[in-house]
Structure 1
Amino acid sequence: MDIQNLIPFILLFFIPCSFCFTPIDNYLLNSGSHTNASLFNRVFVADSTFLSAEKSISLTNQNPPPNSPTLYHTARVFTNTATYRFSMKKNGIQLVRFHFFHFKTQGFDMKSSNFDVLVNNILVLTGLQSTSDDVLIKEFILKIESNLLEILFRPVGNSGFGYVNAVEVFNAPPDFVLDYGTRLVGPNGVEVYNKLSSQVLETIHRINVGGLKITPFNDTLWRTWIPDEDFLVFKDAAKAAVSTQTPNYQKGGSTPEIAPDNVYMTAQQMNRDNSILASRFNITWNFTVAPPGGGAPHLVRLHFCDIVSPVLNLLYFDVYINGYVAYKDLDLSSLTVHTLASPVYVDFVADSDDSGVIQINVGPSDLSSAMRMNAILNGAEIMKMVNVIDSSIVHRKKKLGVLVSSIVGGSVGLFIVIIVFLLAMKCRKKKPKLRTVESAGWTPLRMFGGSSLGRMLSETGSHGYSGLKIPFADIQSATNKFDRSLIIGSGGFGMVYKGVLKDNVKVAVKRGMPGSRQGLPEFQTEITILSKIRHRHLVSLVGFCEENSEMILVYEYVEKGPLKRHLYGSAAQPPLSWKQRLEICIGAARGLHYLHTGFAQGIIHRDIKSTNILLDENYVAKVADFGLSRSGPCMNETHVSTGVKGSFGYLDPEYYRRQQLTDKSDVYSFGVVLFEVLCGRPAVDPQLTREQVNLAEWALEWMNKGMLEHIVDPHLVGQIKDRSLKKFGETAEKCLAEYGVDRPTMGDVLWNLEYALQLQESGQQREPHTDSSTNEAVNVTNRVVLGSSSSNRRTERDYDNGCSDICGSQVFSQLMTNEGR
């Protein structure tokens, strides 16, 4: 950004806060100190008068970093449970902040701390271990109905201890969190969410979109807002907008306490100056909010202020969260008193996806004219819902009451139990025999109003589907009533348990969570897709359950789990050899090639990644998780128009820009997996430098340098023959071509990987054959049995290693069980 464009941004920081918010209750504690300390013109006082009599230690950093705030030179250390108590004059929504800055002194290294923090018996922080060298600030927003607010620090383990450098407790402004106007976004569309104020919210991200960092000095609630640059998926899609005029606050809209002026005076808008982009595209931000599989509901608060339109009613755009429509045809002027540059905010509740990410998109509405196509976003806040009541404390407080209630109500309770038992015996029915899907139909899901897919399966025979509806009781027995010790994975759909059916067949049981982000559509898609396919390199469906509003899928158990686990991470298994990795990639490619070509329209997986490629006991690859899959385009079509779904780091950029899905989107994702296999690192690693964060971009840079051998997994050094590495790298590179038309088919990818294996084992080149994806000659020894073009190539080997739709029972031999067939 040149200096001329930077001047408006600089001027923003000379704009004072619109007005100074003064909370009635405002406690600022300098923990572990006997004197006051100042930070951002706020005075933090000694904490001892607010601390209970429990044992604690005051520590002072003897060698504080130069120019560090005095507030972080001291700390309060808790070797036993201790409590801060605050007398509150005003009930309602409160803000609570904890400041953590570790140092080492007097035998305490705060990096080794381990402790829980509770606020009014609500567990807000658990097993906290501060390892960052920067100040860590944890902020919580919660509602209290009493005149006492208690903060409890509880060490974890015999050697654990807790600490804190500073504590803030103060009232939130009126209407800071409202119980109306919140939109619940998910697979069932947009619904009303009316219990926001009862939630405890932990701030995860607070973003000044299109602007610079805002410090607490320029925020009425002393918050920090960071720029959005590091969260933009495609930076070229966005263009910053800035206004030097103070926002036009209106009744019913936002206020300077909801977000400061500077947030509403900057924005990102569609960069229509970039000729590479299509006329219709979205701006996308990805925010990591939890570890993979750690999905949880979040409040997503989006801030808008139309600083880009010359007149009213020109700006219409759509908002998406995690691929779901969150707000269709948003007209900002209709949310304000018909005034330009009037700030508003909209609250959404959404779950993170299975990779722990919340994705936000804004893009043009169908109501937008071609000349006025635009979309904007000024700010974003993401807060995790963390309502967890600490059972141990609640139990102690209620113990006496429970005892008295038990004695007084004992006789009444016994009488009720007897009546219930007699009624149950009377209503007990003989257990029906198990029936297959074809004869049993589909048990309606009450919470979703029944399953049309289930009725289709029962009425039509499900296109030859021969699986079984497994009773919920049998699944409970197989998983020891969903014993948490049997959990082998988790995702946006729910937990995955290891189980054993009645005849000792091991299975993987995926149990959907009510209200999960994926939910019913993905449940139905999995059954529809898996009922069609039979292939050695695709995970097989044993059965399903849809009783009592449960959504459960039962698969063959794949012994060695996800490929990712064998490549990197703390749980990595013994390193795979290069030959093993090639064979795994070849197996996965065979499975995908079958998906793409084995049916009239083909099937597009849409979520290829290393966690969705499983390995059996012999390291045979099996592609899994078909919840996002779609049928491919019809014969006279080139693509399927659909909302963008997939996983960050693996997503086809052309699919993202155009929202046009083809099988080449799977090819792109598979290219990322190939580099993942070669380099032994994640597709996205935020802890690395900016140049290395995105694996695909980083690997292609080294390919262009002709130095791919410099980034291979250290475990593979000395194992890979040069010609095999060259062929493998070229194959991955072609998969990652910017445009789908330039990418090979999965059939071509398969041939090239087999060639790389041949070069590794023999070092000899194949006999000449024209390969549609490269100019290099390869040998074709298998007879083509379907189609003549490379895009439809299927060979006898496909049938030898897998099965057609009408093949025998070879693939399902391990599923010949009473429950599974």
Structure 2
Amino acid sequence: MNCKIHLYFLAIIFSCTIFKVHSQNKINNTSSPNSNSFILACGSNTETTDSDGRKWNSDIKFLISPNTSLSAIAKSQDPSLPSTIPYMTSRIFKSESTYKFPIPPNFRHWIRLHFYPSSYNDFDTSTSFFSVTAGGFTLLNNFSAYITAEALTQAYIIREFSIIKLDSGTLNLIFTPSKDSFAFVNGIEIISMPEIFQSVSMVGFSDQNMNIESYTVQTMYRLNVGGQYISAINDSGLTRIWYDDSPYIFGAALGVSSEAEKNVSIVYPSNDSKFIAPENVYRTARSMGPNSTVNQNYNLTWVFQIDVNFTYLVRLHFCEFQLDKVNQMVFSIFINNSTAEQEADVIAWSNGRGVPVYKDYAVYVNGRTNDDNLWVALHPNVAVKPEFYDSILNGLEIFKLSDTRLNLAGPNPVPSELKSEAESQQGMPIRSSKSSHNGVILGLILGSVTCIGLLVFFIAFLKYKKRKNKQGLSSNTGWLPIYGSSRSSGTATTSKSSGSSRISNLGGGLCRHFTLAEIRLGTDNFSESRVIGVGGFGKVYKGYIDGKTTTVAIKRSNPSSEQGLNEFQNEIELLSKLRHRHLVSLIGACEENNEMILVYDYMEKGTLREHLYKTNTLLSWKERLNISIGAARGIHYLHTGAKYTIIHRDVKSTNILLDEKWVAKVSDFGLSKTGPTLNQTHVSTIVKGSFGYLDPEYFRRQQLTDKSDVYSFGVVLFEILCGRPALNPSLPKEQVSLADWALLNHRRGTFEEIIDPFIKGEINCECLKQFIEIAVKCLSDHGLDRPSMGAVLWNLEYCLQLENNPDGPKVVAEQKANDAYAMHATLLSIEEEGEICQKPEGHSANAVFSQIVNPQGR
């Protein structure tokens, strides 16, 4: 981002020749006074032209209250500015001010904001902090253009957003200064655009699709991979800027950049696809190089700094202009160390040479990892035995998606006095073909040297680890993020012994220790055909133990992440001492050769979520009612039945599993915490859980109580009744959150309209009324207003009674709940009902390990 950013070189006449999007998703220049696009030089009183001949109009007539703002001229001109227009004039706001733009209601629009943080009259932009909203979306919050420019070592900043189609036909762009500060802007562009976003699946969650059309997005990166800077005038009519990718390549292995021969034509599969990326993007590419042996030993990797706790759309552009047959080059695509594409074959996708194709992948970047980088890596797929062990990429775009609060704003970056290597590279001139060739050779040499160095370091590290293990150190002191890092018999023995000892200590002798050989045998050596779930923690396999007489679920932690240790210990500590009919039972664990594996009872029917929507095996109302009662019993036992109160902290439909008889069992205790003591009202802890189910009071105050589980369970009850997910971003704003939508319909008296049509005719009226009332109480904003899980349990059992016998009497809920639980506990066998014999330790959950089947992001 340190390279010179050139302004857009597309001549758009504000009053006559303009950029307009037609309903057929085509873009044409048209003469019309009712323009859908606006290019404004803020603070200027007249029409001005930049150094590229592009016309910028005054912004004054689009301000609702122009008298509340000031126009100002910059005191100095940085030599790196591409033009004085629009950067030398500025609009200053000391109070909230709004621009109003008339736009068609059925199109997306680019919003581009230009900032030059210089000094204007008596206004020092180093003290400027402000927020920007558009169409109800927060684009910037407490934003400092000065700090951002300093951190990125840039003279000016451009922020680009693509806002969803608005129903009102009016776009309000609102600038709000922070307290005792002011806002400013130098240039504003509102550009009509076609819908270039579609539905995409989440990386690691193939069953979860995100309809990107319903999101407002921010452009984070747009790169012409293997090629040079592409100005706006050469961008297929969408006035985008494409930058060189080399500053973002990880390590010294740059690979090889190439360009299509002049006789190779780029043939777009359709007219609409021309707007995805310009031809110049597809005429250049970066690959790994001609040496297959070298290519098999490294990844071609790009690293990008991003804002955490957002979902990102990663768009990869491909066009093969040298090969022309399927299986000549097949490679894998990894995003943030997760497999996005196992067998990428560009020719198979595009059906021919010179035909562009793009692939979209969505990934959620969680702040718990404390890593604000997003990694994209390519590696040859050796397993399919392609003709060439290589990979290719032509273009790359990364978009940040608005969250459930309609927010896109991230924090201001931290300024640095020294330029990073990547920033320094951005300022370098573009290499000639000869220097590029020399750079490739140097890159390959450095890459080989790096590989050899890493190998030497790795061998030395293994010897060090083996020596430490012989001295009696636990394997916990060095969990290598590499499968099978120690393969010698001596090392394996040490790891096994150490792991067995630790598992035994954690589980109080109640957790069975499995050898890695037993686990491999029971999963056919971790065969992909046995995978029944996958997530951030790794994969879950259907397996067998004890001579294949017992079916189990085997959860194997992903060794590429060091975030699973606390939850691994947490689950062993809790589940080894908990036995209940409605809790998933932990059978044992394996910690050998740096593996962390947990073995559970196998739940044949999978998750509750799988049977509520998007399935052919939908549950009847009575089945759903029985499942909700079973889950409530499990959670109520956690709250009251063990020696210490246990707060689950991640109650949701994917953590309620169903056995072969449709009995509900609560799972996933990696985030669980022991509750407050008699002298406490809550546990103060960092917020953990899943969006859509998260207790708002816990989120606000970071004070965890058992009523946090009650809130989450209330969302599950509405999931059961309405047959839809807790969050659905593709729906209109007021319907995105199931909890909010359910409460709104309850207040309106229109709840029957959102009940799952599959069960609507099955429910007894009194039963439905009682079920809705208890679910609504669970979602009370304050924990004190929510019922206990015992009261929830009794009310659900009462609902079942009403379904079977509508004339049955009703008693006081709390008293009956206690009686019902006492009887329930008496009926359970010793094996089913255990106690925690000591207060568990190590229940901090700084990472995500658990979720047995079909996991969701937290």
For residue 42 of structure 1, report the CA deviation from its aligned partner.
Answer: 6.3
For residue 733 of structure 1, report the CA deviation from its aligned partner.
Answer: 0.6
For residue 493 of structure 1, report the CA deviation from its aligned partner.
Answer: 2.1
Partner Cα distance (2:421, 2:662) in 1:
58
Encode CA deviations 1:435-486: one digit per residue, 9 max, x unaligned: xxxxxx9974352499999757646x955x5331111101110011110110
For residue 632 of structure 1, report the CA deviation from its aligned partner.
Answer: 1.0
Matched, 1:40 2:239: yes
Matched, 1:500 2:544: yes
Change (3 A) 1:476 1:718: same
Change (3 A) 1:783 1:637: closer
- Report what 2:97 is aligned to: 7
Partner Cα distance (2:224, 2:703) in 1:
51
Matched, 1:540 2:571: no
Partner Cα distance (1:222, 1:470) in 2:
45
Partner Cα distance (1:24, 1:101) in 2:
10
For residue 721 of structure 1, report the CA deviation from its aligned partner.
Answer: 1.3
Check the 8 A contact 1:675/1:732 in 2, yes or no. yes
- Report what 2:511 is aligned to: 467
Partner Cα distance (1:157, 1:9) in 2:
44
- Report what 1:521 is aligned to: 566
Partner Cα distance (1:751, 1:798) in 2:
14
- Report what 2:823 is aligned to: 796
Please state whether the residue corresponding to 1:568 is helix, strand or coil: coil
- Report what 1:560 is aligned to: 605
Partner Cα distance (1:248, 1:750) in 2:
50
| AA in 2 matched with 1:510 | K
Change (3 A) 1:520 1:614: same
For residue 734 of structure 1, report the CA deviation from its aligned partner.
Answer: 0.6
Change (3 A) 1:626 1:117: farther
Check the 8 A contact 2:115/2:157 in 1, yes or no. no
For residue 117 of structure 1, report the CA deviation from its aligned partner.
Answer: 13
Change (3 A) 1:721 1:514: same
For residue 637 of structure 1, report the CA deviation from its aligned partner.
Answer: 1.1
Partner Cα distance (1:197, 1:712) in 2:
40
Check the 8 A contact 1:442/1:546 in 2, yes or no. no
Change (3 A) 1:20 1:716: closer
- Report what 1:669 is aligned to: 712
Partner Cα distance (1:747, 1:2) in 2:
56
**Match 1:691 to one of 734, 740, 743:** 734
Check the 8 A contact 1:443/1:454 in 2, yes or no. no
| AA in 2 matched with 1:626 | F
| AA in 1 matched with 2:769 | K
- Report what 1:27 is aligned to: 228
- Report what 1:231 is aligned to: 403
Partner Cα distance (1:575, 1:101) in 2:
40
For residue 612 of structure 1, report the CA deviation from its aligned partner.
Answer: 0.6
**Match 2:636 to one of 593, 597, 609:** 593
Check the 8 A contact 1:57/1:77 in 2, yes or no. no
Change (3 A) 1:239 1:770: farther
For residue 710 of structure 1, report the CA deviation from its aligned partner.
Answer: 0.9
- Report what 2:418 is aligned to: 252
For residue 494 of structure 1, report the CA deviation from its aligned partner.
Answer: 1.8
For residue 617 of structure 1, report the CA deviation from its aligned partner.
Answer: 0.9
Please state whether the residue corresponding to 1:757 is helix, strand or coil: helix
For residue 241 of structure 1, report the CA deviation from its aligned partner.
Answer: 11
Change (3 A) 1:707 1:577: same
Q: How many residues align?
A: 509
| AA in 2 matched with 1:252 | L
Matched, 1:612 2:652: no
For residue 231 of structure 1, report the CA deviation from its aligned partner.
Answer: 2.1
Equivalent residues in 2 for 1:622-771 (5 A)?
A: 622-767=665-810, 769-771=811-813
Partner Cα distance (1:613, 1:701) in 2:
26
For residue 717 of structure 1, report the CA deviation from its aligned partner.
Answer: 2.4
Change (3 A) 1:592 1:161: farther
For residue 25 of structure 1, report the CA deviation from its aligned partner.
Answer: 8.4
For residue 12 of structure 1, report the CA deviation from its aligned partner.
Answer: 9.6
| AA in 1 matched with 2:745 | W
Q: Which runs of 5+ in 2 are unaligned?
A: 1-62, 69-94, 101-110, 117-153, 159-222, 244-257, 290-299, 305-313, 320-324, 360-364, 380-394, 427-443, 445-471, 481-494, 836-858
Please state whether the residue corresponding to 1:733 is helix, strand or coil: helix
Encode CA deviations 1:622-648: one digit per residue, 9 max, x unaligned: 111111111111111111111111111
Q: Which moved more, 1:713-722 or 1:476-485?
A: 713-722
Please state whether the residue corresponding to 2:776 is helix, strand or coil: helix
Change (3 A) 1:623 1:37: closer
Check the 8 A contact 2:503/2:513 in 1, yes or no. no
| AA in 2 matched with 1:700 | L
For residue 84 of structure 1, report the CA deviation from its aligned partner.
Answer: 5.1
**Match 1:156 to one of 336, 345, 348:** 348
**Match 2:595 to one of 547, 550, 553:** 550
Change (3 A) 1:57 1:680: same
Please state whether the residue corresponding to 2:97 is helix, strand or coil: helix
For residue 741 of structure 1, report the CA deviation from its aligned partner.
Answer: 0.6
Please state whether the residue corresponding to 1:619 is helix, strand or coil: coil
Check the 8 A contact 2:507/2:572 in 1, yes or no. no
Q: Larger RCO: Structure 1 or Structure 2 (Cα < 8 Å, ≥ 6 residues apart)?
A: 2
Equivalent residues in 2 for 1:805-816 (5 A)?
A: none
For residue 685 of structure 1, report the CA deviation from its aligned partner.
Answer: 1.1
Partner Cα distance (2:597, 2:375) in 1:
31
| AA in 1 matched with 2:267 | S
Encode CA deviations 1:195-249: one digit per residue, 9 max, x unaligned: x8996499xxxxxxxxxxxxxxxxxx999987x8x426598xx99999xxxx998
Encode CA deviations 1:280-323: one digit per residue, 9 max, x unaligned: xxxxxxxxxxxxxxxxxxxxxxxxxxxxxxxxxxxxxxxxxxxx
For residue 757 of structure 1, report the CA deviation from its aligned partner.
Answer: 1.1
Encode CA deviations 1:585-636: one digit per residue, 9 max, x unaligned: 0000001111110123211111111111000111100111111111111111
Partner Cα distance (1:94, 1:643) in 2:
28
Partner Cα distance (1:726, 1:514) in 2:
49
Q: What is the TM-score when the length of structure 1 is the normalising length?
A: 0.52
Partner Cα distance (1:256, 1:164) in 2:
29
Please state whether the residue corresponding to 1:686 is helix, strand or coil: coil
| AA in 2 matched with 1:154 | V
Equivalent residues in 2 for 1:782-793 (5 A)?
A: 784=819
Equivalent residues in 2 for 1:66-81 (5 A)?
A: none
Change (3 A) 1:93 1:606: closer
**Match 2:478 to one of 425, 439, 447:** 447
For residue 794 of structure 1, report the CA deviation from its aligned partner.
Answer: 3.5
Partner Cα distance (1:678, 1:694) in 2:
15
Q: Which runs of 5+ in 1 are unaligned?
A: 103-113, 126-137, 139-151, 168-182, 203-220, 261-396, 398-440, 773-778, 785-792, 809-821
For residue 58 of structure 1, report the CA deviation from its aligned partner.
Answer: 2.5
For residue 54 of structure 1, report the CA deviation from its aligned partner.
Answer: 10
- Report what 2:386 is aligned to: none
Change (3 A) 1:197 1:735: closer
Partner Cα distance (2:530, 2:661) in 1:
22
Please state whether the residue corresponding to 1:511 is helix, strand or coil: strand
**Match 1:18 to one of 144, 147, 155:** 155
Identical amino acids, percent of aligned pairs: 41
- Report what 1:414 is aligned to: none
For residue 43 of structure 1, report the CA deviation from its aligned partner.
Answer: 10
Change (3 A) 1:250 1:629: closer
Partner Cα distance (1:43, 1:507) in 2:
51
Encode CA deviations 1:52-81: one digit per residue, 9 max, x unaligned: 59987624856x6xxxx9856987999xxx
Change (3 A) 1:738 1:24: closer
Please state whether the residue corresponding to 2:267 is helix, strand or coil: strand
Encode CA deviations 1:543-582: one digit per residue, 9 max, x unaligned: 111111111110111111111111123xx24110000000
Please state whether the residue corresponding to 1:691 is helix, strand or coil: helix
Check the 8 A contact 2:825/2:833 in 1, yes or no. no
Partner Cα distance (1:116, 1:743) in 2:
59
**Match 2:555 to one of 492, 497, 510:** 510
